[in-house]
Structure 1
Amino acid sequence: MRNYQPEKANLTHYLFFTGKGGVGKTTTASATAINLADAGKQVMLVSTDPASNLQDVFKTELTNKPKAITGVPGLFAANFDPVTAAGEYRESVVGPYRGVLPEAAIRNMEEQLSGSCTVEIASFNEFANFLTDPDVDQRFDYIIFDTAPTGHALRMLQLPSAWNNYLSENDRGASCLGQLAGMGDKKAMYEKAVATLSDGALTTLMLVTRPQKASLLEAARAAQELADIGMNNQQLIINGTLQEPSDTASQAIFEQQQSDLQQMPASLQKLIQFEVPLRAYNITGLNKLKLVLQAQQPSLTTYPAIENNYPDLDIVVADLLRTNKKIIFTMGKGGVGKTTVAVQITKKLVAQHKTVHLATTDPADHLEFFNTADPAITISHIDEQQVLKDYQDEVLATARQTMKSADVDYVAEDLRSPCTQEIAVFRAFANIVAQDDSDVVVIDTAPTGHTLLLLDSTQSYAKEVARTAGEVPQSIVDLLPRLQDPNQTEIVMVTLPETTPVYESLRLNNDLDRAKIAHTWWVVNQSMLATNTAHPCLQARAQNEVEWIEKVKAISNDHFAVEQWQPDFEQVLLTI
């Protein structure tokens, strides 16, 4: 596999970097931009990521207008804040109804427009303006976007029903209907933006991944979603490959990376592939960003050892036992290890003579490694795809009774949104909790606060507002008050000691605050610091973790734990 060198990668005018949170999109996009600018090109770098740290990378205050980067002639950067844009967009839709509809209806509308779908559309609106600006097009040789739009958002924009009166008339539909309300005047601009994205002579999709199974699977999913709307010019960048293992921890990581890369999804194997080796320094500041993609690297640096004095998961479990919690969720973005933490909590509770029902959406073949012979443990595996399909079929069957074909297509696409998946899975979880057959129910993957508020507001105000998330089952109606009872429920926030996962967790944290759901404890998972590794590259990563562990410590008011890196899910199950 070749090292990634932008000037030799046959890049197009527009470059879109995409991948899971924490894979290094911003670092890779920024290093690419600097590399091209140093080669004498005029380069525009734009971030549309809600967790963007582009301002920190360049130590420059950025807005949604191009700003020259000091120290890199030819490089300009802008930072679109999709969360702010989503708030402005939400008010543009809701504002005209204030004082006209009841306050309860207004609250429902606001919640309908508070989810990830609205952020996606508002984000696309921001960069579609930029993407279709002829002055920008002519001024720069390369225009680089840190974070590509999702395939779901783009497909939705292509559907005829997104642009008719259906959105204001629908009374049947799915989880996030309403996010395109008020954008009817943008159709021509969006069509031009989508056409540009699907033109392989103009646009390249740069899929950034870690050499890890979960990250590779997410890259394959994103690649397929975007290929479905015509973005077929794709390249794969594997970021953070370990080169020369030298101790126990680094050897385990090296073997795990190689194993996961050998089992890479077939769709990714067909793509042009590059790698960016793991570097033995923290990639911060212009000097390190200029260096990271160069073939010639400085000699390895040995970092002083950092003593790991942080508490582990035992402190969390002790508090769960002391407070006698009945419902425990693990919550976090994909790939942070929610299932592993849920299994560890289960084992530790059983060791303290509790009976536990563990519910998970993790693939069933992983759970065969789990000791299910213990009579104190029962397990429910929820097939996420099946429960989603069942929910989609249910809503579509109702829609087909009253809607035109084009409108049904719109509902079908809306049902592919992240909100819909959360609701479908949560319904299955609600049925499990309703059984109440154990002392404690431990659930891998909690619903976001937005989903809970959406379900709650729909149940209460569906008669007042046309938009609805579908019929809410009694099991969910009964469960919502229990989830808001801190004496019964605890949500354990799981994150990684890295920039993007921590910022993403903060947004989930705010969601739960809005929904008034108890979430005292945080777990910083997969910590390299906690392994006490002596490998220079891994020591560099361990040094970088301290800032984010300390941030979690502050956010959680010292209610946190740090769990060390483990090579894979199966090994964790076999060793706990």
Structure 2
Amino acid sequence: MFFTGKGGVGKTSVASATAVRLADAGKKVLLVSTDPASNLDEVFGVTLENHPTAIPAIPTLFAMNLDPEKSAAEYRERMVGPYRGLLPEAAVKSMEEQFSGSCTLEIAAFDEFSRLLGDPAATAEFDHVIFDTAPTGHTLRLLTLPSAWDGFMSQNTTGTSCLGPLAGLQSQQKLYQESVKALSDADTTTLVLVARAEGSALREAARTSEELAELGVRNQHLVINGVFQAVDATDSYAVALQQRGSAALDAMPVSLNAFPQTIVPLSPNGILGIESLRCLGTVDAVAISGSADKSGEKVDDLASLSDLIDDLVAPGHGVILAMGKGGVGKTTVAAAVAVAIAQRGYDVQLSTTDPAAHIAAAMNEERLPNLSVTRIDPAAETAKYSAEVLASAGANLDSQGKALLEEDLRSPCTEEIAVFRAFADAVAAGTNQIVVLDTAPTGHTVLLLDSALAYHREVTRQTSEMPEAVENLLPRLRDPDFTRVLIVTLAEATPVHEAAALQRDLRRAEIEPYAWVVNQVLSSLPLTDPLLKQRQTHEQQYLREVHEELASRAAIIPWQRQPPTGLDALEKLTQCNSSALPR
């Protein structure tokens, strides 16, 4: 069984609970994580490595952590090492960064998968093998293209950033083919789509489902995790949360209705320990109200978003970036900040990639005179960039070579680079106004530009060909008086730890985040529903981690009864200060 879904939906919890249930039924089970930030060790209280480790409390359950980052680092050194001392340092640095992106990690993760999938002997002793992270459709398509193995990769090094990883993996062709065959065998493999009762998570599940079905992975099951039912009908926040979930489920993509479904109620606490895994899927209000939590004392004196605005506008111009993983609310944070700054009389441009565009539409209808809203269209930017690459790198390729290049251009890296070029132009506008963006490159993309520019200078000894916006982008992003980065997250384990990884990437690119914004916080709300009060207590450990360990400055946004999708709702996010938050 493969468990897949966007970050923060509970893949590890659901996969682990499934493994425990099967093992309790007498089956011999192997649970595998390829997540670089895996918390299986914490969940089971056992130190895991890259081989099956027995879980002492359940004799038939074994677990292991595979490390795709380690595999990617080893692969990167195999590819770059022979050139050290032969090429200029700038060229070697550029090569290293080429192999540091998400696509290299994606292929390395599948390399780890393949050792268990493609070799039946590797898992012959187990009745069930459970993976809590599944390969993407892009990975499977790329690895099944015959042209990936015809020598094209070793002969052509031009094109986009995903081309390199496959070059060193051709020796694995047979193993990969067997792995893909196992994935598409409905008699042996089930793909479990994990989502929450939220529109974005359900849409992501539908997209993943359709993409993998096209590749023959059709035996699918839908798990909707964290579905909330109010216990105290007098708690307006609890009632609103239940209504939001119901509305999302009512609007669920039609394609998902075809699959068997499992509804998992919202857990009052984090899922740690075997007993909590056994209880996942049940809610006992009495147990909730009486259960103990080890989260510690409440974290007080946290700033609100409004407390950041004065300092954000102090330079009078520049760029404010809202960064974070999907689903944490960075578009909402960017829009709220833009509105607050515009209402102070500054000339503001909000640039968004929000596909729903309802926030932008609401603000345009209200006609804030000094706030302009633009949209960077990832699809349009990617199509433009892909056409340029096909016209240049693909000009002299045969049909198989072009097929591989076209597939490569459908990767996440292509969109990242294409949007990055539009992003450079948007940042340049911050020289004479305040620009707020919810679109930002990853630290890897910034470093890729850095190494490419260094290599360009090494080879050409002149920079006259570089557009001004690109040439000045790195100094602007690294200038704290020009660029202020807001890292947006939620008070939950996965979003906080993914945000910490983002911060490490940014610092690697010499960009220091200005502040963290923790969205949808329950801590300050006057809750009476017992389950939500328990959640309120549980989130304290993640607020403390952000406040005391990760962020130089942190602010919170309380959970809102109504989604902040209009101008009035956005204003409310920055109208209250920390002392006025309800207790």
Same fold flag (TM > 0.5): yes
The answer to whether the Cα contact below 8 Å between 2:9 and 2:225 also exists between their aligned partners in 1 is: yes
The answer to whether the Cα contact below 8 Å between 1:456 and 1:477 also exists between their aligned partners in 2 is: no
Structure 1 residue 568 displacement after superposition: 5.8
Query: Match of 2:267?
Result: 279
Structure 1 residue 163 displacement after superposition: 2.4
Query: Match of 2:348?
Result: 356
SS at match of 2:267: coil
The answer to whether the Cα contact below 8 Å between 2:352 and 2:376 also exists between their aligned partners in 1 is: yes
- Taking the aligned partners of 1:430 and 1:131, their CA distance within structure 2 comes to 42
Counterpart residue identity of residue 324, structure 2: G
Query: Match of 1:293?
Result: 281
Structure 1 residue 472 displacement after superposition: 7.2
**Alignment pair present for 1:367 and 2:353:** no
Structure 1 residue corresponding to 2:537, chosen from 536, 543, 568: 543
> Could you say if the C-alpha distance between residues 557 and 20 of structure 1 is closer, same or farther in structure 2, counting changes exceeding 3 Å?
closer
Structure 2 residue corresponding to 1:345, chosen from 334, 337, 358: 337
- Taking the aligned partners of 2:419 and 2:59, their CA distance within structure 1 comes to 50
Counterpart residue identity of residue 345, structure 1: V
- Taking the aligned partners of 2:154 and 2:532, their CA distance within structure 1 comes to 54
Query: Match of 2:576?
Result: none
**Alignment pair present for 1:190 and 2:176:** yes
**Alignment pair present for 1:113 and 2:99:** yes
What are the superposed Cα offsets for residues 341-362 of structure 1, whole Å, 9 maximum, x if unpaired? 0011112212332111000000
**Alignment pair present for 1:57 and 2:29:** no
Structure 1 residue 216 displacement after superposition: 0.8
What are the superposed Cα offsets for residues 19-45 of structure 1, whole Å, 9 maximum, x if unpaired? 011100000000000000001100000
- Taking the aligned partners of 1:159 and 1:142, their CA distance within structure 2 comes to 29
> Could you say if the C-alpha distance between residues 556 and 44 of structure 1 is closer, same or farther in structure 2, counting changes exceeding 3 Å?
closer
Structure 1 residue 532 displacement after superposition: 3.3
- Taking the aligned partners of 2:102 and 2:138, their CA distance within structure 1 comes to 11
- Taking the aligned partners of 1:316 and 1:177, their CA distance within structure 2 comes to 42
**Alignment pair present for 1:266 and 2:254:** yes
> Could you say if the C-alpha distance between residues 137 and 282 of structure 1 is closer, same or farther in structure 2, counting changes exceeding 3 Å?
closer
SS at match of 2:547: helix
The answer to whether the Cα contact below 8 Å between 2:33 and 2:132 also exists between their aligned partners in 1 is: yes
Counterpart residue identity of residue 517, structure 2: V
The answer to whether the Cα contact below 8 Å between 1:158 and 1:191 also exists between their aligned partners in 2 is: yes
Structure 2 residue corresponding to 1:378, chosen from 369, 372, 376: 372
Counterpart residue identity of residue 410, structure 2: R
Structure 2 residue corresponding to 1:208, chosen from 175, 187, 194: 194
Task: Report the number of matched residues.
Answer: 557
- Taking the aligned partners of 2:168 and 2:270, their CA distance within structure 1 comes to 44
Structure 1 residue 264 displacement after superposition: 0.7
- Taking the aligned partners of 1:192 and 1:409, their CA distance within structure 2 comes to 22
TM-score (norm 1): 0.92
The answer to whether the Cα contact below 8 Å between 1:45 and 1:144 also exists between their aligned partners in 2 is: yes
**Alignment pair present for 1:161 and 2:153:** no
Aligned pairs for 1:324-343 within 5 A: 324=316, 326-343=318-335
Greater displacement, 152-161 / 111-120:
152-161
The answer to whether the Cα contact below 8 Å between 1:356 and 1:438 also exists between their aligned partners in 2 is: no
Counterpart residue identity of residue 187, structure 1: Q
Greater displacement, 245-254 / 454-463:
454-463
Structure 1 residue 518 displacement after superposition: 3.0
SS at match of 2:505: helix
- Taking the aligned partners of 1:397 and 1:517, their CA distance within structure 2 comes to 34
Greater displacement, 222-231 / 47-56:
222-231
Query: Match of 1:450?
Result: 444
Greater displacement, 68-77 / 278-287:
278-287
- Taking the aligned partners of 1:163 and 1:50, their CA distance within structure 2 comes to 28
> Could you say if the C-alpha distance between residues 227 and 463 of structure 1 is closer, same or farther in structure 2, counting changes exceeding 3 Å?
farther
Structure 1 residue 280 displacement after superposition: 3.1
Counterpart residue identity of residue 426, structure 1: F
- Taking the aligned partners of 2:498 and 2:466, their CA distance within structure 1 comes to 28
Query: Match of 2:87?
Result: 101
- Taking the aligned partners of 1:280 and 1:38, their CA distance within structure 2 comes to 23
- Taking the aligned partners of 2:19 and 2:386, their CA distance within structure 1 comes to 42
- Taking the aligned partners of 1:427 and 1:464, their CA distance within structure 2 comes to 22
SS at match of 1:208: strand
**Alignment pair present for 1:43 and 2:43:** no
> Could you say if the C-alpha distance between residues 79 and 325 of structure 1 is closer, same or farther in structure 2, counting changes exceeding 3 Å?
farther
- Taking the aligned partners of 1:77 and 1:297, their CA distance within structure 2 comes to 32
Greater displacement, 49-58 / 303-312:
303-312
Query: Match of 1:10?
Result: none
Greater displacement, 349-358 / 160-169:
160-169
Counterpart residue identity of residue 536, structure 2: A
What are the superposed Cα offsets for residues 79-131 of structure 1, whole Å, 9 maximum, x if unpaired? 11222221112112111222222211110110000011111111111121122
- Taking the aligned partners of 1:436 and 1:278, their CA distance within structure 2 comes to 43
> Could you say if the C-alpha distance between residues 294 and 326 of structure 1 is closer, same or farther in structure 2, counting changes exceeding 3 Å?
closer
Structure 1 residue 436 displacement after superposition: 4.8
The answer to whether the Cα contact below 8 Å between 2:137 and 2:212 also exists between their aligned partners in 1 is: yes
Structure 2 residue corresponding to 1:255, chosen from 231, 236, 243: 243
Query: Match of 2:575?
Result: none
The answer to whether the Cα contact below 8 Å between 2:493 and 2:542 also exists between their aligned partners in 1 is: yes
- Taking the aligned partners of 1:523 and 1:362, their CA distance within structure 2 comes to 19
Query: Match of 1:12?
Result: none
What are the superposed Cα offsets for residues 132-176 of structure 1, whole Å, 9 maximum, x if unpaired? 333343211110001001111111111233224333433541233
Query: Match of 2:491?
Result: 497
**Coordinate RMSD, CA, aligned:** 2.2
- Taking the aligned partners of 2:398 and 2:479, their CA distance within structure 1 comes to 43
> Could you say if the C-alpha distance between residues 190 and 474 of structure 1 is closer, same or farther in structure 2, counting changes exceeding 3 Å?
farther
Query: Structure 2 stretches of 5 or more lacking a match?
Result: 460-464, 572-583
Query: Match of 1:138?
Result: 124
- Taking the aligned partners of 1:404 and 1:566, their CA distance within structure 2 comes to 55
Query: Match of 2:580?
Result: none
Structure 2 residue corresponding to 1:240, chosen from 226, 240, 250: 226
Counterpart residue identity of residue 193, structure 1: S
The answer to whether the Cα contact below 8 Å between 1:330 and 1:341 also exists between their aligned partners in 2 is: yes
Greater displacement, 398-407 / 207-216:
398-407
Counterpart residue identity of residue 33, structure 2: S
SS at match of 1:358: strand
Aligned pairs for 1:444-523 within 5 A: 444-461=438-455, 474-523=468-517
Greater displacement, 81-90 / 340-349:
81-90
> Could you say if the C-alpha distance between residues 539 and 473 of structure 1 is closer, same or farther in structure 2, counting changes exceeding 3 Å?
farther
Structure 1 residue 407 displacement after superposition: 1.5
What are the superposed Cα offsets for residues 443-474 of structure 1, whole Å, 9 maximum, x if unpaired? 11210011112123223325989xxxxx9755
SS at match of 2:524: helix
